[in-house]
Amino acid sequence: MDSFSFPARDRFLNRAADLERLEDWWSGSERNALALYGRRRVGKSWLFRQFAHGKPAILLVADRRAEAPQLERFADRLEPLLGVRPVLDGAPALIEALYALAADQKLVVVIDEFPYLLPAREKDRDQVLTAIQAVMEERDASQLKLVLCGSYISQMERLLRGPLRGRLAPMLVDPLAFDDAQAFLAGDTSATERIERYAVSGGMSLYLDELARGGSLRDRICTRVLDPRGPLFNDPREVLEEQLRTPGVYYSLLEELSTGKKSLADFGSALGRKTSDLQGYLDTLREMRIVERTAPVTARDDERGYRYRLADDFMRFWFRFVFPFQEELKTGLAPRILYDAEIADLLADHISPTFELLCRQWALTTGRATKVGAWWGNALNNLRREGTRQSEEIDVVGLTRGAVSLIGEGKWTNRPLGLDVLTDLDTFKIPALRQDGARIASTAKIALFSRSGFSPTLITAATEREDVVMVDVDELVRDLMALHGV
């Protein structure tokens, strides 16, 4: 069999760890199929094509068509290789034919969007998967390396728990982290712009490819996202509507989340619906890895106080700045007018949560803590009684051996960070954290992160203390990129 050739392999970027895992699986003795899954636009198709390049490989792509014509198409593909036309009356027969094809030669076969080949009804699906399980019992007699790929994360994870449990090796393809995403940017890109581009495009390969490259960020947003003819103008809608039958409520939830973290009660108030009615929608978005549920880093697993956040930075941008204006953009509103009027002044507010996340990653990267998150809780009791402060929030709280070892604040503003930030920590926030039951180590450090440097009064105060560390945007990015030698 001829080796597979991936014409775009020279344009493939990064994913070194994922490719290494695939190569280990290929060269090892493991006979279990690989369940390769991840969100749409994350780069799965390019990943398995890059992996298959130069190997004897077959790629079969399922779609939404009826099962019978798809299987006939696959039979057309396999007939010249098998020397006889296989009778494919279902997914089990297809996999059985693939095992037979690899009886005497090592072969990798990828079935992309495999869940499309399964029945919609759970009872019927389990029957098909049980039949596939029986076929896989003969896997040791074949040299087949089978990859079952899918974008429906919840369905792929159900495969791992169902009849095929123990016969599939899971491999989740995550969005690119900040340091990995730097491969899409030019080497002379400033630290500030690296964070800006990542905060708008997120870690999805397609969005990075469109938004992290040359030209100003404003121009890329206007031409690639705000222009109705642009490739990303409608992309989040298309991705969601492919998986959600009634997207209306989901859109409302995502639009609410686009402006910041929210509690379940916040959604109920904003949408005028019972929180019990909304929980199922949020659970679905969490299964899709679009929404994350977070708790204060010091909270126990059984505590409440959860907040929800949009995990995809590009979707967060799109639902805040594009979704509400799509009709106007379609009917004549110029992208540059929209950008200047609605986006430019609020872009820093959009970038701020990403900057805070990168500050937390810095705490892990530099070994300042072994567990890092944000914290929020009640203000000091006497201040609550007076009505002067009701709650407090800290951007970065790092724990080491259960004790707080790092406390930090990150500000993405055009002004230098002032002494008031340190004063707030000392006077209100750290005491509230201690009131909440946190054990603060005697050696705990305070880290202050700033886009625009630090005021002279803050620099003077910090240099007089041994517990304060100041990290500007250049140092932050340098340390994060050094993690993988970027």
Same domain, 323 and 371: no
Q: Would residue 292 count as lying in a domain?
A: yes
Q: Would residue 4 count as lying in a domain?
A: no
Tell me if 17 sits within 8 A of 167, measured CB to CB: no
The rounded mean pLDDT for the chain is: 94
**Three-state DSSP state, 234:** coil
What's the pLDDT tens digit per position in 349-396?
999 999 999 999 999 999 999 999 999 999 999 999 999 999 999 999
What's the pLDDT tens digit per position in 134-172?
999 988 889 999 999 999 899 899 999 889 999 999 999
Range of the domain at 391: 352-482
- The pLDDT value recorded for residue 223 is 97
pTM of the model: 0.92
Same domain, 189 and 333: yes
- Residue ending a domain, among 333, 350, 367, is 350
The more confidently predicted of residues 246 and 221 is 221
Tell me if 376 sits within 8 A of 296, measured CB to CB: yes
Q: Would residue 218 count as lying in a domain?
A: yes
* CA 309 – CA 260 distance, rounded (Å): 7
Same domain, 213 and 139: no
Same domain, 165 and 18: yes
Same domain, 198 and 287: yes
pLDDT mean over 328-342: 98
- The pLDDT value recorded for residue 394 is 98
Is the pLDDT at 302 greater than 70? The verdict is no
CA distance to 3, 20, 25, 131, 382, per residue, from 51 (Å): 12, 9, 11, 29, 61
Tell me if 271 sits within 8 A of 253, measured CB to CB: yes
Same domain, 22 and 160: yes
In the numeric block, which tokens belong to residue 302? 């059984």
- The pLDDT value recorded for residue 483 is 65
Is the pLDDT at 430 greater than 80? The verdict is yes
Same domain, 361 and 332: no
CATH number where 408 lies: 3.40.1350.10
**Within the chain, how many helices (H) and strands (E) appear?**
23, 12
Q: Any idea of the CA torsion for 67, 70, 74, 76, to the nearest 10 degrees? A: 120
pLDDT band per the 50, 70, 90 thresholds, residue 484? low
pLDDT mean over 342-350: 97
Which residue's entry shows tokens 């792929």?
156
- The pLDDT value recorded for residue 485 is 52
pLDDT mean over 244-260: 92
- The pLDDT value recorded for residue 29 is 87
Same domain, 221 and 253: yes
pLDDT mean over 97-101: 95
* CA 356 – CA 476 distance, rounded (Å): 11
Same domain, 367 and 411: yes
Q: Hey, which residues does 294 pair with through a beta bridge?
A: 307
- The pLDDT value recorded for residue 297 is 96
In the numeric block, which tokens belong to residue 183? 């491969």
- The pLDDT value recorded for residue 353 is 97
Tell me if 195 sits within 8 A of 358, measured CB to CB: yes
- Residue ending a domain, among 156, 172, 188, is 172
pLDDT mean over 99-104: 93
What are 240-248's contacts with CB under 8 Å, separation 24+? 242/40, 243/152, 243/288, 244/284
Same domain, 164 and 226: no
* CA 393 – CA 307 distance, rounded (Å): 13
CATH number where 72 lies: 3.40.50.300
C-alpha angle 280/284/288, rounded to 5°? 165
pLDDT band per the 50, 70, 90 thresholds, residue 173? very high
Q: Would residue 465 count as lying in a domain?
A: yes
Nearest to 135 by CA among 81, 185, 98: 98
pLDDT mean over 275-288: 91
Q: Would residue 2 count as lying in a domain?
A: no
* CA 12 – CA 46 distance, rounded (Å): 7
- The pLDDT value recorded for residue 164 is 92
Q: Would residue 3 count as lying in a domain?
A: no
Q: Which positions ≥6 away from 85 have C-beta within 8 Å? A: 75, 79
Tell me if 297 sits within 8 A of 372, measured CB to CB: yes
What's the pLDDT tens digit per position in 435-471?
999 999 999 999 999 999 999 999 999 999 999 999 9
pLDDT mean over 280-300: 93
Same domain, 63 and 114: yes
- The pLDDT value recorded for residue 274 is 87
Same domain, 158 and 270: no
Give the number of domains in the chain.
3
Tell me if 39 sits within 8 A of 176, measured CB to CB: no
- Residue ending a domain, among 130, 155, 172, is 172
Is the pLDDT at 304 greater than 80? The verdict is no
